[in-house]
């Protein structure tokens, strides 16, 4: 089964449903719409999720809506977080937005 990894700081946002996307550097082809994946946060499994949609953009084209669905209050905060994980990211960098929905009952918290 494919796994979608997150930093442990995103655990509460994922579990509460405030984080329903993840932005990753590059044109990620390892996930496809319809995939069921295991969500790993830190070293902890948060259960399963369904990949609803995949979108490709340039970093500069991310919207406020993209930031909010990723659990951030603004584009600026999303971009700051991405720069922590991808040191060489810039406004022309391609990014993949993975839309996911946790599968109810996959983990009781």
Residues 98, 37: Cα–Cα separation, whole Å: 12
Q: How much is the pLDDT for 105?
A: 60
Phi-psi region of 105 (alpha: psi -120 to 50; beta: other; left: phi over 0): left
Confidence of residue 104 (pLDDT cuts 50, 70, 90): confident
Question: Which tokens sit at 101?
Answer: 């929905």
Whether 101 shows a pLDDT value over 70: the answer reads yes
- What would the two tokens of residue 98 be? 């993975």
pLDDT at residue 106, as a whole number:
58
Sheet containing strand 21-25, strands side by side: 3-6, 36-41, 44-58, 94-102, 21-25
How is the chain split into domains, by residue range?
3-102
Rounded Cα distance between 48 and 37, Å, is 6
Which tens digits make up the pLDDT trace of 49-93?
Answer: 999 999 999 999 999 999 999 999 999 999 999 999 999 999 999
Total-model pTM: 0.92
Do residues 22 and 39 lie in contact, with contact meaning Cβ atoms separated by under 8 Å?
no
Task: Calculate the CA 12 to chain-centre distance.
Answer: 14
Find the length of the chain: 109
Give me the mean pLDDT over the 34-50 stretch: 95
Confidence of residue 109 (pLDDT cuts 50, 70, 90): very low
Class of domain 3-102: alpha beta
């Amino acid at each position: 089964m494919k796994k979608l990894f997150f930093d442990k700081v995103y655990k509460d946002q994922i579990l509460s449903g405030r984080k329903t996307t993840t932005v990753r550097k590059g044109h990620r082809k390892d996930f496809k719409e319809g995939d069921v994946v295991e969500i790993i946060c830190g070293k902890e499994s948060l259960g399963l999720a369904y990949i609803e949609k995949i979108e490709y953009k340039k970093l500069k084209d991310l919207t406020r809506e993209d930031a909010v669905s990723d659990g951030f209050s603004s584009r600026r905060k999303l971009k700051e977080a991405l720069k922590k994980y991808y040191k060489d990211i810039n406004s022309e960098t391609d990014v993949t937005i993975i839309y996911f929905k946790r599968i109810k009952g996959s983990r009781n918290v």
